[in-house]
């Protein structure tokens, strides 16, 4: 029985566009997958915390199509593509674009990318907030967005927190997190400027990390579009409900 659960052969990479993808089927598969529990620490590994190492290793295995390192008893059935059913909200949606966030007083359209990205993840985790209702819920902690405070307010735990990872580590870890069923909250920084932007990574196909960009004017669908144009990952993390 254990063997049957763990030796699922990954599918060859089909090319699936986001529009064609069957989100309901994905959600069903996701619901059937066991939650990956925290495991003990690896005292020999000084480079990555074990859960990040696991996400990183999983991402690397998916990128290289080599699952030998995961072991046949891994409870994960890695695939070369996966898309999580995350709702795409735009900060400049006319329904809430002009709503003002406190305490800074910016509109959601002007400064709501972090809040909108968090609303997407919150919806995925079952709290079904739009940027408008998220803004109301966070009140005077909406802008500047306070990641830890927002997570606490919704009872989420921050996981897989990486600070200023290299681009390749960010991509690989994101793929691993998505394979584990966790959309990734990504803070991007343009070079060494104070220009920041937030997006949600929700899928991968081959080695590409697919994102939901809250900025409708840009609406990039691939993380590499940012990374190849002078943006770096300032931090990333996932949330668990």
Partner 1 sequence: MKRVLILASLCVLILSGCNFKNQNCQTSDVISSINTNSSSSQLGTPIPINGFSLEDLKLQICVPSDIKFQDPNIDFDMPEHYSVMSGDPTFDLGAYMKAKLYGNYTYVCALTVENTIAAMELPVIFLQGFNLEDIENKRAVIMVGQRQLSMEELSAYEVYRDEAAVVYNFSSLVMTESFDDYIEIHKASTTYDYSWTKDVYHYFQNHIQEIIKRK
Give every CB contact of residue 85 below 8 A, 6+ residues apart in sequence.
23, 24, 26, 27, 30, 124
- Closest CB to partner 1 among residues 60, 189: 189
Per-residue x/- track, 153-172, partner 1 (CB under 8 A): ----xxxxxxxxx-------
- Closest CB to partner 1 among residues 10, 235: 235
Q: How far is the CB of 23 from partner 1 (least distance, A)?
A: 26
**DSSP assignments along 36-93, one per residue:** -------TT--SS-HHHHHHHHHHHHHHHT--GGG-TT-S----SEEE-------TT-
Q: How far is the CB of 50 from partner 1 (least distance, A)?
A: 5
**DSSP assignments along 173-241, one per residue:** HHHHHHHTT--EEEEEEETTSS-EEEEEEEEEETTEEEEE-S-TTT---BHHHHHTTTEEEEEEEEEE-
Q: Should residue 149 be labelled a site residue for partner 1 when binding is judged by CB under 8 A?
A: yes
Among residues 59, 78, 111, 183, the one that binds partner 1 under rule CB under 8 A: 111
Which range, of 22-30, 39-47, 58-66, 77-85, touches partner 1 by CB under 8 A?
A: 39-47
Q: Should residue 194 be labelled a site residue for partner 1 when binding is judged by CB under 8 A?
A: yes
# of chain residues touching partner 1 (CB under 8 A): 51
Q: How far is the CB of 58 from partner 1 (least distance, A)?
A: 13
Q: Should residue 43 be labelled a site residue for partner 1 when binding is judged by CB under 8 A?
A: yes
Residue with tokens 């940027």: 131
Among residues 5, 64, 73, 228, the one that binds partner 1 under rule CB under 8 A: 73
CB-CB contact of 53 with 47 (8 Å): yes
- Closest CB to partner 1 among residues 51, 124: 51
Q: What is the dihedral angle through the alpha carbons of 49, 52, 54, 55, rounded to the nearest 10 degrees?
A: 180
Residues interacting with partner 1, by CB under 8 A? 2-3, 38-41, 43, 46, 48-52, 71-73, 103-106, 111-114, 140-141, 143-149, 157-165, 187, 189, 192-196, 198, 234
């Amino acid at each position: 029985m254990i063997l049957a659960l763990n030796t699922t052969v990954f599918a060859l990479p089909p090319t699936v566009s986001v529009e064609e993808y069957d989100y309901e089927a994905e959600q069903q598969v996701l619901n059937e997958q066991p939650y990956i529990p925290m495991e003990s620490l690896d005292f020999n590994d000084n480079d990555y915390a074990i859960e990040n190492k696991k996400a990183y290793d999983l991402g690397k295995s998916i990128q290289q199509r080599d699952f030998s390192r995961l072991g046949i008893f891994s409870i994960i059935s890695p695939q070369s593509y996966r898309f999580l059913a995350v709702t795409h909200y735009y900060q400049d949606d006319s329904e809430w674009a002009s709503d003002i966030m406190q305490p800074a007083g910016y509109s959601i359209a002007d400064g709501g990318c972090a809040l909108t990205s968090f609303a997407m993840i919150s919806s995925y985790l079952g709290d079904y907030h739009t940027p408008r209702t998220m803004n109301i819920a966070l009140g005077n902690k909406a802008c500047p967005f306070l990641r830890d405070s927002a997570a606490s307010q919704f009872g989420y735990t921050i996981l897989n927190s990486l600070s200023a990872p290299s681009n390749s580590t960010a991509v690989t870890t994101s793929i691993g997190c998505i394979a584990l069923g966790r959309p990734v909250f990504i803070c991007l920084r343009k070079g060494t400027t104070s220009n920041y932007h937030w997006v949600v990574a929700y899928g991968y196909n081959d080695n590409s990390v697919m994102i939901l960009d809250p900025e409708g004017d840009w609406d990039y669908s691939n993380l590499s579009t940012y990374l190849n144009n002078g943006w770096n990952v300032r931090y990333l993390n996932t949330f668990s409900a």
